[in-house]
Amino acid sequence: MQLNGKVALITGAASGIGKEIAIVYAKAGASVAIADINLDAAQKTADEIKAAGGKAIGVAMDVTNEEAVNAGTKAVVDAFGQLDILISNAGIQIVNPIINYSFADWKKMQAIHVDGAFLTTKAALRYMYKDKRGGTVIYMGSVHSHEASPLKSAYVAAKHALLGLARVLAKEGAEYNVRSHVICPGFVRTPLVDKQIPEQAKELGISEEEVVRRVMLGGTVDGVFTTVDDVAQTALFLAAFPSAALTGQSFIVSHGWYMQ
Ligand code: NAI
């Protein structure tokens, strides 16, 4: 029970990586808030965690909307009394070559990944800075926080930006006992990835099997997908780590696809 007594707000937690982090955190003793734009799915995830004996609530939150972020964060503190861990994880993917990338899609990507990270951080810090009680903020980056791939200009730019935000927060937050990190997964089979397989096959003119074997797993040491549990266990380790010896770091979880 490494997170006993802790409260975690996890965005995009109705699905995929965020959902698994919520499940693992709840098993480790944390009270978890499943914050998602899809409230029905968030409630369902919270109900599953409660049925398994954990403490959870579903919270409606569009991370691009400042009022919604502030109201959702306040609802978590009203429900659980405090906020110790923020996982800024909500995300989408839109693939297209730069020449065809619409400005509207570019802005949508920055809004969810970068604005969302900023707004949720700012809202969480109001509680974490109070009396220097501190906390941990973890951004869901990607191997694409360090590496580039064709078709992903907006995603790669947004995921690189999270490294900068995390490093500034590590420095500003230190005196308030707030730490920050970026977790950088390789490809994980979630709805976000399943949707891109046919899209990338079409854009690159290759088969779906080749997208998986060459594009997604070609750079790994073993041809194996990263799992939601690999990422959740990393998030657990970072949230439970006892000192600021680890802060402002990025942790790559990618079967050796990218090595720092
Ligand atoms: P997913 O599609 O399974 O889950 C994303 C969740 O975010 C969904 O529940 C969705 O409703 C929610 N969401 C979307 N827009 C939102 C908004 N504006 N406000 C609040 N919630 C919103 O995706 P997955 O794969 O679990 O991705 C989670 C994070 O992990 C994303 O930031 C993604 O970029 C990152 N990531 C994913 C990788 C993968 O291979 N699946 C690899 C590296 C990073």
Per the DSSP assignment, residues forming a β-bridge with 185 are: 253
Element (H, E) at 129: none
Evaluated on CA atoms 40, 41, 44, 46, the torsion sign reads negative
Q: How far apart are CA 29 and CA 152, in angstroms?
A: 37
**Per-residue b/e over 186-219, b at no fewer than 16 CB within 10 Å?**
bbbebebbeebbebbbebeeeeeeebbeebbbeb
Q: From the alpha carbon of 141, which atom of ligand 1 is closest?
A: 44
Q: What is the pTM of this model?
A: 0.98
Radius of gyration of the chain from its Cα atoms, rounded to whole angstroms: 18
Q: Is the CB of 161 under 6 A from ligand 1?
A: no
pLDDT tens by residue, the chain, 260 residues: 899 999 999 999 999 999 999 999 999 999 999 999 999 999 999 999 999 999 999 999 999 999 999 999 999 999 999 999 999 999 999 999 999 999 999 999 999 999 999 999 999 999 999 999 999 999 999 999 999 999 999 999 999 999 999 999 999 999 999 999 999 999 999 999 999 999 999 999 999 999 999 999 999 999 999 999 999 999 999 999 999 999 999 999 999 999 98
Domains of the chain are 7-186+226-252 (3.40.50.720), 188-225 (no CATH)
pLDDT for 1: 87
Residue minimizing CA distance to atom 23 of ligand 1: 192
Contact indicator for 143, 211 with CB cutoff of 8 Å: no
The single residue listed with the structure tokens 């990607």 is: 142
Q: Is the CB of 111 under 6 A from ligand 1?
A: no
Q: How far apart are CA 109 and CA 129, in angstroms?
A: 29
Q: 120 CA to middle of ligand 1, Å?
A: 15
Q: How far apart are CA 254 and CA 251, in angstroms?
A: 9
Q: Is the CB of 153 under 6 A from ligand 1?
A: no
155 is catalytic: yes
Q: What six digits make up the tokens of 60?
A: 């409606």
